[in-house]
Amino acid sequence: MHASLTEVTYRERLLASLGRLPPFSPTLSRVLASLGRDDVSFSHLSELIEKDTVLAGNVLKLVNSALYNRRGEVSSIRYAISLLGVHKLRNTILSMTVARMWAHMASPAGWSTKQFNLHSVAVAVLADLMAQRVPVVFEEGAFAAGLLHDIGRLVIATSLPDEYMKIARLYGENGGTLYKCERSVIGMDHSEISTMALAAWNLPRPIRAAVRYHHTPGEDPTPLTEGHTFRLSALLSAADEFVDHMGISATPKNMTTDAPSPEEFMALMGGAADGVSAAFEQEFDAIKTFF
């Protein structure tokens, strides 16, 4: 009975904390609303981005990076958008704007917002590359799902700092899985809390389902539609595992157990694994300088 009441109390505190998370900017809200649309004009997007000077500067910086290997410097937002393309532009806006949202949030000792952002962006980049090569349900949501899959960890760290430290100690001492340590301390895990946040932000249901089951994709009830072999949760799980294997973890070093082997990624990608891995390293190397 006491444990049940405690769990209810934690849930209430976590729900209350979601209301204190920074709101999405108008730019980010419009980008999220455009997921899956191909009729957005470069002209409209350039006008939108030019109103956000920090974002505009970062878009130009990315286009002028080694990833695009330009001989002359690009100074026009509209031209930069034409080089990036709508798909890459959406991803860039999502990652940079979301990272800025967390910048001023108080967090407990041992928590690194930079480390959290790098892991989230890495999973997003890899999930998006994978979705371009395998038939996955709601492939257009892969980047957003990867970027926001661990938001529950941030919510725990910022709203329940004492409990976060207990979870960190338990995980560091006993190993096992982080989400099981979370459940033992607060009665729920970060994937559940992430899903609560995405519901509060009204993100598409396929993205919420992928985030909810990214540690347990076998439990995902999302139906497979015609022509789609994989659920987004399976792809997200494989991307998360691979990124941890690469050493790009959101888990503080004093908590980290042995990195997993990328078995899920290899099984899902098959013969395309090496090509996707190389493309990931190139794209992530270019974008990580923003964090």
Within a domain: 1: no
Residues 140 and 238 in one domain: yes
Asked if residue 55 lies in contact with residue 97, where contact means CB atoms within 8 angstroms, the answer is: yes
Residues 132 and 93 in one domain: no
Within a domain: 207: yes
Residues 148 and 251 in one domain: yes
Per-residue pLDDT of the chain (291 residues; tens, 9 = 90+): 344 556 678 878 887 887 777 766 676 666 666 655 666 667 777 777 887 788 888 888 888 877 776 677 888 888 888 888 878 888 888 888 888 778 777 788 888 888 999 999 999 999 999 999 999 999 989 999 999 999 999 999 988 899 999 998 888 887 678 888 999 999 899 999 999 989 888 888 999 999 999 999 999 999 888 888 899 999 999 999 999 999 898 876 555 555 667 889 999 999 999 999 999 998 898 888 877
Residues 97 and 164 in one domain: no
- Residue 65 is predicted with a pLDDT of 79
- Residue 61 is predicted with a pLDDT of 86
Residues 231 and 278 in one domain: yes
Residues 169 and 99 in one domain: no
* CA nearest neighbour of 3 among 184, 233, 164: 184
- Residue 39 is predicted with a pLDDT of 65
- Residue 273 is predicted with a pLDDT of 93
How many domains does the chain contain in total? 2
Within a domain: 60: yes
Within a domain: 11: no
Q: Indicate which CATH number applies to the domain containing 200.
A: 1.10.3210.10
Residues 86 and 148 in one domain: no
Within a domain: 245: yes
Residues 136 and 67 in one domain: no
Residues 146 and 262 in one domain: yes
Which domain-ending residue is among 104, 121, 148?
104
Within a domain: 62: yes
Three-state SS string over 239-283 comes to HHHHHHHCCCCCCCCCCCCCCCCCHHHHHHHHHHHHHHHHHHHHH
Which domain-ending residue is among 46, 77, 104?
104
- Residue 2 is predicted with a pLDDT of 42
- For the chain, give the number of residues: 291
Give the list of residues 6+ apart from residue 202 with CB closer than 8 angstroms, or none. none
Residues 83 and 203 in one domain: no
Whole-prediction pTM: 0.85
Within a domain: 10: no
Which domain-ending residue is among 104, 123, 150?
104
Domain that holds residue 221: 107-290
Residues 185 and 216 in one domain: yes
Within a domain: 32: yes
Kindly give the interhelix angle for 26-33 and 42-50, rounded to the nearest 10 degrees. 160
Residues 248 and 229 in one domain: yes
- Residue 260 is predicted with a pLDDT of 67
Q: What backbone phi and psi angles, to 5 degrees, belong to 106?
A: -70, 140
